[in-house]
Structures are given as C-alpha cells and as structure tokens.
Amino acid sequence: TQTIILKNRPEGKPKLSDFEFKKDDAELNIDDGELLLETHYVSVDPYLRGRMSDAKSYVDPFEVGKPIHSLVIAKVAESKNENFSKGDYVRGMLDWKTKQVTKGEELTKVDSSKADLSAYLGILGMTGLTAYCGLTEIGKPKEGETLIVSGAAGAVGSVVGQIGKILGLTVIGIAGTDEKIEMLKSKFGFDAGINYETTDDMKSAIADAAPKGIDIYFDNVGGPISDAVLFNINKFARTINCGAIAVYNETETPESISVRPFLIKNSASMQGFIVSNYEDKFPKAMKELTTWLNEEKLTYSETIVEGFENIPQAFIDLFDGKNKGKMVVKVS
Ligand code: NDP
C-alpha cells in the first residue's frame, strides 16, 4: 500500500517537498462490517490548499504527518459489510492511499454503466453541485440577464457557463489561455471569453464583452480579476463568492480595491457560498444535471493524470492552470 501524507504545511504555492510517500507491504485484512477498497480515481481540488494551512476555516485542517484525503472513486476488493459487494464502485472522502480498509460509512455507490467513473468526481460530483447550487440559489438567474464566470474553463466554471446558457443567459467566461477561451465558445457555448493573461485592461475588456453590464458574477478566483468585474455590475447584481484561487497561496492578506461603493450604488449583493450548506438541494441538482447530460445540453472536460505518484503534482498544477475542466488522477 502506498500513502501520501502532508509532510509540512506549504508556504505560498505548494511544492512536491510538502508531500511524502510511504510504502507498507503488510497485507490488509478486514473484520466484520468492513470493506477493502482499491483506489481508482482521486479528485484534486483547489480547496485542499486551505486544508493544508492551519488557519481556521469551514473544514478542519489536515494534520501534518497524516494522510491527505479528498473525494475518491474506489472499487470494493473485499467486503464483510452487507451494504456493499465485491466489485461495487463507491465514492467517498478517502485517504490518498492505493488501498484502504473502511467501515463503509459515508460511502455512496456509483454506477459505472450510467457515466464514466471519473464523472462522479466532477460534473456528477462536488463541482457539478457547486456550479448548479451556487448559480441557481445565490445567482437567482433570470432569462436575458448577463452572467460572467471567472475560472471559466475549470471544473466548476465550465458547468456554470453551460447552465447559464440553458437558463437563457448571455454568458462571458474569463480564463488564462487562448485555447481555453476557444474551448469555452466552441465546446461549452459561451457567448464570449476574455484571456486575463493577455488582456491589460480587464475593466474595459469586460465592458466591451458585456455591453448591457453584468447581472451575475460567479467568482471562482477573487483578486484583481474580481475587482475588474465589479466595476461593471448592474443595479441589483448578484456575486457568488465561490472560490478565490488567486489568493489561496498568499502569505499576507492581499490588498484589494474596496468593493463597497460598487455594491452600495448598485444595490448589489455578494454572498459567500459553500456547497455543503446546500445539501437539501442536491437531489434536485443531481436530477437536473443528469437529465441535461443525457439530453446532451451539458457536456464536460476532464484532465486525467495517470499514476498515484503524480497526485501531488496534479494538485500543484491547478495553480498553474494546467487543467481544462476537472483535474482527476487515475490510479489503476
Ligand atoms: P478549476 O478546475 O477551476 O481549477 C483551477 C483553475 O483556476 C486553473 O485551471 C486556473 O485556470 C485557475 N487559476 C489558477 N490560479 C489562478 C489565478 N491566480 N488567477 C486566476 N485564475 C487562476 O478548479 P475547480 O473548478 O475545482 O474550483 C474552482 C474554484 O471554486 C476554486 O477556487 C475552488 O476553491 C472553488 N470551489 C468552491 C466550492 C465551494 O463550495 N465554495 C466547491 C468547489 C470549488 P486559468 O488557466 O484560467 O488560470
């Protein structure tokens, strides 16, 4: 069994040396009620960066010297638990280990005949639910409005934009390469895209792309991109504060423009969002996401990295924008 542990808390951007691999040749045996799981796909997500710090947050930090965990798709290799059979595929918050024993609590079965297994970590998993619940519950979209999405080519953003189109919005995406901007328009149906890496004046570029102004801002990145968006909001605009990857690696509190005047003069709102607070909406969200997928109104991209040993690098690569859509590591 191989395990990845948090060796030390990253300073700034995470480095490979913040992680340690451990190998154990002991055979894993299970007792009554337990399962032996083989890891198949591991989700790497920007929010894990927060858990690597010891700052107080909405989830407890990882412990130094202990395994890191995230959402994982695993196969049941052996079962002494009546709720699961050998060969079942399950999803759960599991350790970064090639094999592990669990009691099966908080695991859900996933159906490999209905969708690719990796999709249960993305569009049919946490990031799909984040896109759906954030946009519908806080964004409160109305047909004809203009939506702008930052981190638009990522797992959450690419789904937000597509849902926006399904709901009759004009959708603008912000991302970091021309290739991603092209994908937003050709694959995901966005109306326009802005490459923040090659655009000097984001404030004007957004104004040009959104002649009617911005009604909804789905914010995945924070930082200067978000400041530029807020110059362009309309009366009663809604901002969904979903993520702030641009500042996750900051070691000091970043300075930013004061957004208050923009909110006041536009009677606009800005609301923090954590997907786990919307669990009561998940059944409806899953139903709609699945229907749209089956009807081909919704599609998705994945960047699949091969190999357990590449999990830390895949995680670090999120901060360099190496992924298109959901970043997933395929273990076996
Ligand atoms: P993504 O798939 O979007 O991957 C991260 C992307 O962020 C990269 O591909 C990169 O794309 C972009 N990025 C990295 N650094 C910067 C930067 N400095 N400025 C601007 N963009 C940057 O990740 P997810 O879709 O999984 O998550 C998106 C956001 O949503 C994250 O901030 C995450 O923490 C948050 N989130 C929040 C949840 C909640 O409940 N609140 C749940 C799930 C996710 P590019 O090439 O465009 O720079």
User: For ligand 1, atom 30, which residue shows the shortest CA distance?
Assistant: 243
Amino acid identity at 231: F
User: For ligand 1, atom 1, which residue shows the shortest CA distance?
Assistant: 154
Give residue-wise pLDDT tens across range 226-251. 999 999 999 999 999 999 999 899 88
pLDDT band at 56 (very low <50, low <70, confident <90, very high): confident
For residue 257, pLDDT beyond 70: no
| Number of alpha carbons in the 13 Å side-chain half-sphere of residue 204 | 3
Superfamily of domain 126-277: NAD(P)-binding Rossmann-like Domain (3.40.50.720)
**Residue 179: both structure tokens together:** 């290739």
**What is the Å distance from ligand 1's center to 151 Cα?**
5
Q: Is the CB of 246 under 6 A from ligand 1?
A: yes
Contacts for 229 with CB less than 8 Å, ≥ 6 apart: 148, 150, 174, 202, 206, 214, 217, 219, 239
Q: Is the CB of 173 under 6 A from ligand 1?
A: no
pLDDT higher for 201 or 332?
201
**What is the Å distance from ligand 1's center to 108 Cα?**
26
Separation CA 163–CA 180 (nearest Å)? 18
Percent of the chain with pLDDT over 70: 99
Angle between helices 202-209 and 223-230 (to 10 degrees): 50
Task: Give the dihedral of Cα atoms 230, 234, 240, 241; nearest 10 deg.
Answer: 20
Atom of ligand 1 lying closest to residue 275 CA: 40
For residue 171, pLDDT beyond 80: yes
Q: Is the CB of 141 under 6 A from ligand 1?
A: no
Give the 3-state secondary structure of residue 47: coil
pLDDT band at 256 (very low <50, low <70, confident <90, very high): low
Is domain 2-121+301-330 in CATH 3.40.190.10, yes or no?
Answer: no
Percent of the chain with pLDDT over 90: 93
Average pLDDT over residues 7-30: 97
Atom of ligand 1 lying closest to residue 175 CA: 47
User: For ligand 1, atom 19, which residue shows the shortest CA distance?
Assistant: 246
Distances (CA, A) of 213 to 89, 220, 225, 230, 233: 46, 19, 16, 10, 6
**What is the Å distance from ligand 1's center to 31 Cα?**
40
Separation CA 188–CA 147 (nearest Å)? 14
**Residue 110: both structure tokens together:** 């996933």
How do beta strands 2-6 and 19-23 pair? antiparallel
Q: Is the CB of 129 under 6 A from ligand 1?
A: no
DSSP H helices in the chain: 48-52, 126-133, 155-166, 178-186, 202-209, 223-230, 260-265, 282-294, 311-317
Q: Is the CB of 226 under 6 A from ligand 1?
A: no
Separation CA 4–CA 218 (nearest Å)? 33
Atom of ligand 1 lying closest to residue 273 CA: 41
**What is the Å distance from ligand 1's center to 25 Cα?**
37
Query: Tokens 């970590």 appear where?
Result: 121
**What is the Å distance from ligand 1's center to 310 Cα?**
19
CATH 3.40.50.720 occupies which residues in the chain?
126-277
CATH 3.90.180.10 occupies which residues in the chain?
2-121+301-330
Structural contact between residues 268 and 226, judged by C-beta atoms closer than 8 angstroms: no
Structural contact between residues 211 and 234, judged by C-beta atoms closer than 8 angstroms: no
Q: Is the CB of 222 under 6 A from ligand 1?
A: no
Q: Is the CB of 48 under 6 A from ligand 1?
A: no
Which range is least confidently modeled, 29-38, 54-63, 109-118, 187-196? Answer: 54-63
* Whether ipTM exceeds 0.90: yes
Centroid of chain to Cα 17: 24
For residue 194, pLDDT beyond 90: yes
**What is the Å distance from ligand 1's center to 294 Cα?**
26
Give residue-wise pLDDT tens across range 66-93. 999 999 999 999 999 999 999 999 999 9
Which range is least confidently modeled, 41-50, 56-65, 120-129, 292-301? Answer: 56-65
For residue 193, pLDDT beyond 90: yes
**What is the Å distance from ligand 1's center to 142 Cα?**
25
pLDDT at 158: 98
**What is the Å distance from ligand 1's center to 221 Cα?**
6
**What is the Å distance from ligand 1's center to 81 Cα?**
37
Distances (CA, A) of 65 to 20, 23, 72, 101, 249: 9, 14, 20, 19, 21
